[in-house]
Chain A
Amino acid sequence: METLSIYAPKLVTNREYIASGHRACSGCGEVLAVRYVCKALGRNTIISNATGCMEIISSPLPETSWEVPWIHTLFENASAVASGIESGIKALKRKHGYTKEVKVVAMGGDGGTADIGLQSLSGALERGHDFLYVCYDNEAYMNTGIQRSSETPYGASTTTAPSGKNSMGQHTWKKNMAAIAAAHNIKYVATSCSSYPFDIMTKVEKAIKVKGPSYIHILSVCPTGWRCPSNLTIKMGRLAVETGIFPVYEIEDGQYKLNIDLPSLRPVEDYLKLQGRYRHLTKDSTAVIQAKAIEEYNRIRQLSGLKAIK
């Protein structure tokens, strides 16, 4: 191996835009992802936040963790509020001498994005507002106590789709939000994961350079809801990616690109066995998840122009 004389680390700003002292659970992958997203966005940002974990941990009156202008109004309307912010600034620039270059960002959890907020997100993407939407997907309604969403993965047990004598827990597969966003013919869509800070930051930087809407879907590990030790957050996100359960890719102008290209996948069991939400799974249902993970991973590979793996 070649010996390197200079080690060039990637530079990340020391500046924080979500202050410590927030009320997130220990090991929260979501707030970690928010932190990276905000570092990449920088100070000239306005955030419209849907109701959910990130809202509730950061804004108990009269305190706030936010060091950028931030607005929370309701659960299902973060994208519509962002539409108004973006349009308002456009009008102010044209009519009232407003000169600041502001990045408008909407964010929400998987419920606020894929379920209750899907209509307002679709509307804002379709209308072409210049904004970035970030979904922090922790795969259930964690804020209200681990109820299933359309992003809850197959086989996971939640409080409203619990495993039981007649149930394996969630019996549907994750809604494919990246594909739904891409179907609006927007310029930039990406997936990422809270365990990959540089991947998140690179993608946010790319997304905000796009004129028009962009969408990033970040798998955000939730030890509380996934029922795993809080010191395994980073490992858990990496296992989701390395088992092929959550492929990390971009869709630029409709073209897929697999960003974390693995020569082979780890068995899904490595990921599932560490989480209480999958404790009830039988060998058979684990095999179903295994087959689906490979199939989905290969589908993204194929769309990215890569050969399938076994």
Chain B
Amino acid sequence: MTLKHTGIESSLAMAEAVRLANTDVIAAYPITPQTHIVESLAELVANGQLDAEYIPVESEHSAMSACLGSSAVGARTFTATASQGLILMHEVLLVAASLRLPIVMAVANRALSGPLNIWGDHSDAMVTRDSGWIQIFVENGQQAFDQTICAFYIAEHPDVLLPTIINIDGFHISHVIEPIAMLDQKTVDGFLPPYKRSITLDPDNPITMGCFAMPNMYAESRKALDTALHNSKKVILEVWRKYGELTGRHYKPVEKYKAENAETLLVTMGGYSENAMDAIDKMQGEGKKVGLIRICLWRPFPYDELIEAVSGARNVIVLDRAISLGGPAPVCSEIRAALYTSDKRPQVASIVGGLGGRDISPDDFEKLVGIGLEQIKAGRTADTIMFGVRE
């Protein structure tokens, strides 16, 4: 059963989800703002509340490498990281995907150096974008808990077998105490099937993992991985449907908030979406036809759902919480690409904001929408605006 709401820090709720999933191996290296997740897990293991091997590795590179090993022998595997840690393990991430190892990872999104900054934005997640992992963004602690349970199901599903990242905004979600309705052990056991991998490193059935591919094989391998990632959406939707039936909490790749009949749609991803909702409430109260679209599934990218969600609007204003230096902002770029082949193509304004932990308050969101609309009106949609930056 779903337990009643308890005030708990999101990071701790996520650790509780990892415990409820009866995870076998956790390999992790500390980095702010991921620390509360792994500290909590270490404590659960130390107290005997979770029967798992906790490997306190000497780097994030080794954290993900150890995860490869444990997942390859058939152990349910979890890690968490952020920022520099995520990009240090980057080359290992690609291998995890190509070996089809269903590792689940929490990323407490944080800015990248330099300059060094420990606060939240999505720069780290954008570096990881093309790594072959399923990537989900959450907006609060409840979603962090729910998506962690779902992530094991999705990743380990025999039709998927892909590693999965749950992105939670550093500090803005990771360190916030919220009322969260968790599940009891029996409910999770009934929902989440055990990790049963048919192909493992097993002396009784020796296999070779991690061959190199010559030019005559490499492209086929990459194509197979890409197809697998695209196909995973079917299972993602199915798992979210089952979870919705179980808990009453329903998830979609693209969520709409008061978006019906909106002329202008704001698009966000991750933790700042709740501030945006407040702004939308206020603006709609003033009679403005502004709605909100939130992207929950980042990879595989939900093209169909996104086109359906935004193509009825006249204006789309996309907030990116990462900058692509010398290029278009990543989320906006994706949306523009998705809309290009659509019959209805709204005008799209691109805004980058909330870098390195800078807040975007509901009032700011109102301003941000205003700036986006001005850009569209002036025909300057090719520009990317940095919101609230001193020049």
Contact = CB atoms under 8 A, between A and B. Distances in A.
Interface stretch (A118-126, A180-188, A191-199): A118-126
Contact of B212 (A48, A56, A92, A122): A56
A116 to B, nearest CB: 10
B59 to A, nearest CB: 7
Contacts of A43: 203, 206
Interface residues of B, number: 48
A68 B203 contact: yes
Contacts of A95: 22, 24, 51
Contacts of B63: 80
B202 interface: yes
B66 A81 contact: yes
B74 A74 contact: no
Interface string B173-201: 00000000000000000000000000011
A71 B68 CA distance: 10
B355 interface: no
Contact of A88 (B77, B92, B99): B77
Contact of B208 (A45, A70, A85): A70
A71 B201 contact: yes
Given A77-B62, A81-B68, A84-B71, A69 B217 contact: no
B208 A87 contact: no
Interface string A90-111: 1110111000101000000000
A72 B200 CA distance: 14
Contacts of B55: 83-84, 87, 127
A9 to B, nearest CB: 28
B211 A72 contact: yes
A120 B62 contact: yes
Given A66-B206, A83-B57, A119-B59, A89 B65 contact: no
B27 A83 contact: yes
Given A61-B213, A71-B209, A88 B71 contact: yes
A213 to B, nearest CB: 14
B238 interface: no
A126 B208 CA distance: 28
Interface string A259-271: 0000000000000
Nearest to A51: B212
Contacts of B95: 73-74
B69 interface: yes
Number of contact residues on A: which range applies? 35 or more
A34 to B, nearest CB: 14
A21 interface: no
A84 B214 contact: no
B56 to A, nearest CB: 7
A127 B203 contact: no
A120 B73 contact: no
Interface in A137-174: none
A241 interface: no
A74 B56 CA distance: 20
B374 to A, nearest CB: 48
Given A60-B211, A73-B99, A80-B57, 16 more contacts: A59-B211, A64-B211, A70-B208, A71-B68, A71-B72, A71-B208, A72-B212, A83-B55, A84-B25, A84-B66, A87-B55, A88-B69, A91-B51, A123-B58, A123-B62, A124-B62
28 contacts: A60-B213, A61-B212, A62-B211, A66-B206, A67-B206, A68-B206, A69-B205, A70-B201, A70-B207, A71-B209, A72-B210, A73-B210, A74-B91, A74-B92, A80-B57, A80-B65, A83-B27, A83-B55, A83-B57, A84-B66, A86-B69, A87-B55, A91-B25, A91-B70, A94-B51, A119-B62, A120-B65, A123-B57
Across the A-B interface, the 4 shortest Cβ-Cβ residue pairs: A84-B69, A88-B70, A123-B58, A80-B65
